[in-house]
Structure 1
Amino acid sequence: MAQTKKGSRLITVDGTTYRWRVRRKPTYAQGLCRPPLTFAVEAAGGEGPGTTLVVTTEQTHPGNWLFAEPGSVRPEHVADAVREALERGWDPARQGSPFLLDRSAGFRSPH
């Protein structure tokens, strides 16, 4: 499923352009700082929607309700995640289920 353009950003990694986005509002569980922050990445061009990369970070969602120190996703984090996912077999042009990349090894819920 293709991401909406509203609220997303473009990034070019090794000559390929991708669109990435962090969910603006936290899920209920993210609001309570239980699961960590996630973001989604997909190829920006092409014939149609391909496989979406979903990256789980080790940070809390910035919109959490418990005033925990918020995390942030920077363009260099996105570029690193894209490169790692490509090494692990993510094919952004192929259709299919989302490719999950778990980078939450150091996550600890503050509450």
Structure 2
Amino acid sequence: MSIPKRGTRKIVVDGEPFIWLIRRQATNSQADYCCGYIHVAVEHAQEPGSVLAIRTDKPHSENWITEVKPVKPKDVARWILQAMESGWQPKTLGAPFIVQVVGECIAKV
């Protein structure tokens, strides 16, 4: 599975090129329909393999209750490094590697 190329951003982490994309629609929690969060998808730019799916703790712009906190490239770079340390192999085909942002770190889901 790969992410669509349209709307992606490029980033280089440890000399490796990646593309990343913010999901367009908020993913709503079952408890409260108005509190969606930003989700990010990442894959290697030259050798697509496993997709990294990041569930952030940052409110989506469609969330009209909370102030929006943007996802910055430095956040994505940090999450990519942490995911690789947690076992994500971006050049190896396989199921999406899903992680949840917990404060400054990520946890495998």
> Do both proteins adopt the same fold according to a TM-score greater than 0.5, normalized to the shorter chain?
yes
1:82 to 63, 68, 80: 80
Q: Where does structure 1 lack aligned partners over 5 or more consecutive residues?
A: 107-111
Q: Where does structure 2 lack aligned partners over 5 or more consecutive residues?
A: 105-109
How many pairs does the alignment contain? 101
For residue 57 of structure 1, give the secondary structure of its aligned residue in structure 2.
Answer: strand
> Which whole-Å CA distance do the structure 1 matches of 2:102 and 2:14 have between them?
25
Q: Which has the higher strand share?
A: 2
Q: Contact 1:56 / 1:104 at 8 angstroms: preserved in 2?
A: no
Question: What is the CA-CA distance between 1:77 and the residue it aligns to?
Answer: 0.3
> Which whole-Å CA distance do the structure 2 matches of 1:23 and 1:38 have between them?
6
Per the alignment, residue 91 of structure 1 pairs with 89
User: CA RMSD for the aligned pairs?
Assistant: 1.9
> Which whole-Å CA distance do the structure 1 matches of 2:19 and 2:87 have between them?
19
> Which whole-Å CA distance do the structure 1 matches of 2:6 and 2:51 have between them?
17
Question: What is the CA-CA distance between 1:26 and the residue it aligns to?
Answer: 2.2
Per the alignment, residue 33 of structure 1 pairs with 35
Q: Contact 2:58 / 2:71 at 8 angstroms: preserved in 1?
A: no
**Which stretches of structure 1, 4 residues or longer, exceed 4 Å deviation after superposition?**
none
